[in-house]
Structure 1
Amino acid sequence: MSRVVVVGGGISGLAAAYALATGPNPPQITVLEASPRLGGKLAGAEIEGVPVDLGAESVLARRPEGVDLIRAVGLGDDIVHPATTSAGLWVGDRIHAIPPTVMGVPVDPSATADVLGPEAAAQVAHEADLPAPALTEDVAIGRFVADRMGSAVTDKLIDPLLGGVYAGKADEISLAAAVPDLYAKLRTASSLLAATAELRELGQKRAGQPVFAGVVGGINRIITALEQDLTARGVQIRRKLTVRRISRTPDGFTLEAGPVPAPTYLTADAVVVAVPAAPAARMLTDLAPTASTELAAIEYASMAIVTLAVRKRDWPDTATGSGFLVPSVEQRTIKASTYSHAKWAWSAEAGGDLAVLRASVGRLGEEYLLQRPDEELVALAAADLRKAIGLQAEVVGSLVTRWGGGLPQYAVGHLDRVDRVEAAVADVPGLAVCGAAYRGVGIPACIASGGKAATRVLEHLKALETMAK
């Protein structure tokens, strides 16, 4: 039987293993995970007995991969959608409604006046008078929009809406990688406003369809369900085993793992590398040097999630919706807050008399914030929440979860870089890569990436089988 090793037990690696295990003529599969647990950035815990997600809390429902996998591993009956997705924007001394946008790029100039002010809103309206964008190459979305609509749009809309996804800087994020639909429209659209209006109209045709989906008890439950499913199918999962090097052999691959003084060697006919860019670069130094060099150039941002529990009776009536975002120019500690008890009915029910909420801290270049003690981060988050929504409640319970190097940065030219990585990997038959570093940081994108890697590996194994006959 053919042997495949999947390096990395996050959602991408587990999705690759699942696709391999459920495909035709499944090979013998081993998943190697460096840490003591599976799931990567998908993790869960309890705060005062209430289940919480410590990383991602939902999947984009309009992409099928996430919801399909949730159903496939037996959690279909637990799929839920947010009770509200009405988030606000903390600008100045109050929470504002977010105007209609495409990832922060305005659709209706007049609707931006409350957040941007009348002068900045007027500049947005004049964007339609500029020459057509006629984009022919990738650009930084923040800089591009600032040039056409004014810096206030980048600072107060794109930064919190798009920068929050990557924990990065809007002035450096690739338009082609982060908002591909908008990038495609800007090749031919008469203006940026015309492009966003067209995309917004397409989105409204899907009105009524949920944008996001979650799982009762937390989206992290998909990891436990995947592990149980894979184990039942005979997949071997080994934790606390770090792979340092992958080498080509006449018969396939050798993986060197474990401590340097006492290494563990594994052999495989094919390998899927499903780890972040930096460790992937180290593993592929000899095997695919061009891919290694390209991967080593991808930056990562660190951030933290501060989860809090307060008494529902102390929740301010003025704090409505699902939470709020915070532009970096406001110079607050927190970058966003989600009212979990308001967003998810299951959280409200599980909490009883407790309300659970979370705040995110830190972006690219703000690693110093994460070096503060847990109690200090909790105090800073609580102080910001007092200013933002008047939350005077005593914090009954708290959890601080640090995600060091958690989010890859899609810089200008990122997709070209990924093309070069994939071309270099394609020169090594039986090798595949997947993960958030490539073509999307969301859960469905990572699952799709894992599925694509599995397809590549299965095609290689089939070719080996044909040659052996």
Structure 2
Amino acid sequence: MPLHPPYRSGPAPDPAHVVVVGGGISGLAAGAAVRRERPDVTVTVLEGSPTIGGKLALAEVGGITVDVGAEAMLNRRPEAVALAEASGLRDRIVHPRTTNAALWSRGRMVPMPRTMMGVPLDTRLLAESGVISKAGLARAALDAVLPATHIDDRDVSIGWLVEERFGKEVVDRLVEPLLGGVYAGHAREISARAAVPQVVALLDRDRSLMRAAAAATGERPADDVPVFAGLVGGVGQLPAAVAGAAGLVVRTGAVVRDLARAGEGGWNLVVGSTHDPEIVHADAVVLATPAHATGRLLADVVPDAALELARVETASMAVITLAFREREVPDALRSGDTSGFLVPPVDRHQVKAATYSFSKWAWVREAGRGDGEGNDVLVLRCSIGRHREEQVLQVDDAELVQTALEELADAVGLCVRPVDSHVQRWGGGLPQYAVGHLERVRHIREAVARVPGLAVCGATYDGLGIPACISSAEKAATQVLAALPARGE
């Protein structure tokens, strides 16, 4: 089996060597965390695709480079913004111009009422929004008088919990579109404890879930602390910045096909094709790959974890980015302060959400400025695809673009052809946090922890957002650092 420098199948290189499998933000953050604590350690990131970044990706649409994957970071958690700052991007951090969202519900565009992950905070505001019917409002009002809901140590779906308190319509019209936007999943299947632990924590505070949610919202950070952050030029800049600032050795097109304990200690990874394989030796390994890929690599070394990972289902989706001439966009759309809209799946539309990037991000609007002759460009994006509904994605890109255009015409009266479009498909990109997910993650981590010098991280475990992925990566880094030889050994 041919070997290529600097890797060999003998003793581990000096200094210590950590290999991270997977070049998404989780893998890069894990590598950066290792280097932050141990600058003497060489960290190699092996990424099977041609580029790093995973679901943080950029593309040019209508002459503007924009995000075609994740486009915002939760600002009220510290991990993502801190990593951006540490990677030299402090001056590029910005916050949305608006986060006011709407709902395209029952054929009308209505304002999204304030909720905590779909739990209504105010009966009057819920009624004024027009989202819920009179019968639905009457059922939701029972939350104030129903006996307290106790789930003890059980896990239940967020859909079951909200329906128990407020009725089916609140789940269908509020919770489903919110969770569909985040998880591309279904509220009645997604674990409440894994996806919305803040809602579960309210159950012991008040018999009424609405009162408890309203009180808890009042305890959250002040309104002048932005909920989200982004980067001028796109969040997709973060992966390269992290890799560069941390001094990671990055190899793309490096598919890891096998993982095994090395007889002399550490790990051997088989990289590349079956015709030209390479052995890469490491003192420790972090697997920052999707659940099924991680399970495949763990099949021989940690079979218990591999079995659990095989049971994690995923959803596929597509982001359709569209660029329009500003002069052709309806006045109400281009001059509004709405960041986009969500769509309840019960209405059976294929578009599940739309983001008005030109309205949400000042830098996107500025980047679309033309020559002053009416050639300004406005960029927006739609997402299509939910768990177990992959058939809607089994068409070519042109058909997905046409579907998005037809539904935008129905939703907001945008009835013109774009000057450019881009379709980004994320096949199996969103792990589903089914009921019992936290227990499954606990079993996986306990099994992996019994094997020194090995850790896992990524969106499968602690949350899909960028900060949650970074937190997961930092846990993995701490785990493998403990197995490395001390400096100078």
Answering whether residue 58 of structure 2 is matched by residue 35 of structure 1, we say no
Counterpart position of 1:259 = 273
Matched to 2:135, the amino acid is: E
Matched to 1:220, the amino acid is: G
For 1:441, what is the secondary structure of its paired residue?
coil
Query: How far 1:314 moved relative to its partner?
Result: 1.8
Q: Which among 54, 58, 64 is matched to residue 44 of structure 1?
A: 58
Counterpart position of 2:259 = 246
Counterpart position of 1:237 = 250
How do 1:368-379 and structure 2 match up within 5 A?
368-379=391-402
Counterpart position of 1:465 = 486
Counterpart position of 2:293 = 279
Q: Does the 8 Å CA contact 1:84/1:343 hold for their aligned counterparts?
A: yes
Answering whether residue 318 of structure 2 is matched by residue 304 of structure 1, we say yes
Q: Does the 8 Å CA contact 1:306/1:399 hold for their aligned counterparts?
A: yes
How do 1:244-393 and structure 2 match up within 5 A?
244-250=257-263, 251-319=265-333, 320=336, 321-352=338-369, 353-393=376-416
Query: How far 1:244 moved relative to its partner?
Result: 1.9
Answering whether residue 456 of structure 2 is matched by residue 433 of structure 1, we say yes
Matched to 1:135, the amino acid is: I
Q: Does the 8 Å CA contact 1:326/1:335 hold for their aligned counterparts?
A: yes
Q: Does the 8 Å CA contact 1:135/1:187 hold for their aligned counterparts?
A: no
Residues in 1 aligned to 2:318 and 2:361: alpha-carbon distance in whole angstroms: 21
Residues in 2 aligned to 1:274 and 1:378: alpha-carbon distance in whole angstroms: 32
1:220-255 CA-partner distances (Å, limit 9, x unpaired)? 01112123223xx3x321111111221112411111
Q: Which among 410, 415, 419 is matched to residue 396 of structure 1?
A: 419
Counterpart position of 2:177 = 160
Q: Does the 8 Å CA contact 1:109/1:122 hold for their aligned counterparts?
A: no
Query: How far 1:17 moved relative to its partner?
Result: 0.6
Q: Which among 80, 84, 108 is matched to residue 98 of structure 2?
A: 84
Q: Does the 8 Å CA contact 1:134/1:189 hold for their aligned counterparts?
A: no
Q: Which among 204, 216, 220 is matched to residue 236 of structure 2?
A: 220
Residues in 2 aligned to 1:46 and 1:187: alpha-carbon distance in whole angstroms: 49
For 1:399, what is the secondary structure of its paired residue?
strand
How do 1:58-77 and structure 2 match up within 5 A?
58-77=72-91
Matched to 2:242, the amino acid is: L
Residues in 2 aligned to 1:308 and 1:212: alpha-carbon distance in whole angstroms: 23
For 1:460, what is the secondary structure of its paired residue?
coil
Query: How far 1:417 moved relative to its partner?
Result: 0.7
Residues in 2 aligned to 1:199 and 1:248: alpha-carbon distance in whole angstroms: 48
List gaps (5 residues or longer) in structure 1: none
TM-score, length of structure 2 as denominator length: 0.92
Counterpart position of 2:192 = 175
Residues in 1 aligned to 2:207 and 2:133: alpha-carbon distance in whole angstroms: 25
Matched to 2:261, the amino acid is: R
Matched to 1:168, the amino acid is: G
Residues in 1 aligned to 2:197 and 2:169: alpha-carbon distance in whole angstroms: 23
Residues in 2 aligned to 1:327 and 1:52: alpha-carbon distance in whole angstroms: 27
Q: Does the 8 Å CA contact 1:311/1:393 hold for their aligned counterparts?
A: no
Q: More deviation in 272-281 or 21-30? A: 21-30
Residues in 2 aligned to 1:24 and 1:362: alpha-carbon distance in whole angstroms: 42
For 1:310, what is the secondary structure of its paired residue?
strand
Q: Does the 8 Å CA contact 1:110/1:121 hold for their aligned counterparts?
A: no
Q: More deviation in 26-35 or 179-188? A: 179-188
Residues in 2 aligned to 1:154 and 1:316: alpha-carbon distance in whole angstroms: 32
Answering whether residue 433 of structure 2 is matched by residue 410 of structure 1, we say yes
TM-score, length of structure 1 as denominator length: 0.96
Instruction: Could you list the structure 1 runs, at least 4 aligned residues long, displaced by more than 3 angstroms after superposition.
Output: none
Query: How far 1:148 moved relative to its partner?
Result: 2.2
Query: How far 1:191 moved relative to its partner?
Result: 2.6
1:245-304 CA-partner distances (Å, limit 9, x unpaired)? 211124111112211233211111110000000000000001111111111110000000
1:206-233 CA-partner distances (Å, limit 9, x unpaired)? 2110000000011101112123223xx3
Counterpart position of 1:445 = 468
Q: Does the 8 Å CA contact 1:169/1:364 hold for their aligned counterparts?
A: yes
Residues in 2 aligned to 1:285 and 1:189: alpha-carbon distance in whole angstroms: 46
1:93-124 CA-partner distances (Å, limit 9, x unpaired)? 22111111101111112322310112101211
Counterpart position of 1:131 = 147
1:152-185 CA-partner distances (Å, limit 9, x unpaired)? 1111100001222000011101111111111122
Counterpart position of 1:210 = 226
For 2:131, what is the secondary structure of its paired residue?
helix
Q: Which among 127, 131, 134 is matched to residue 118 of structure 1?
A: 134
Counterpart position of 1:145 = 162
Q: More deviation in 347-356 or 262-271? A: 262-271
Residues in 2 aligned to 1:118 and 1:99: alpha-carbon distance in whole angstroms: 16
Matched to 1:95, the amino acid is: M
Residues in 2 aligned to 1:322 and 1:357: alpha-carbon distance in whole angstroms: 10
Q: Which among 186, 190, 198 is matched to residue 207 of structure 2?
A: 190
Matched to 2:60, the amino acid is: E
Q: More deviation in 306-315 or 60-69? A: 306-315
Residues in 2 aligned to 1:358 and 1:70: alpha-carbon distance in whole angstroms: 24
Matched to 1:386, the amino acid is: A
Query: How far 1:431 moved relative to its partner?
Result: 0.4
Matched to 1:75, the amino acid is: L
For 1:318, what is the secondary structure of its paired residue?
helix
Residues in 2 aligned to 1:354 and 1:211: alpha-carbon distance in whole angstroms: 27
Query: How far 1:190 moved relative to its partner?
Result: 1.7
Residues in 2 aligned to 1:199 and 1:89: alpha-carbon distance in whole angstroms: 24
Q: Does the 8 Å CA contact 2:32/2:243 hold for their aligned counterparts?
A: no
Q: Does the 8 Å CA contact 1:102/1:199 hold for their aligned counterparts?
A: no
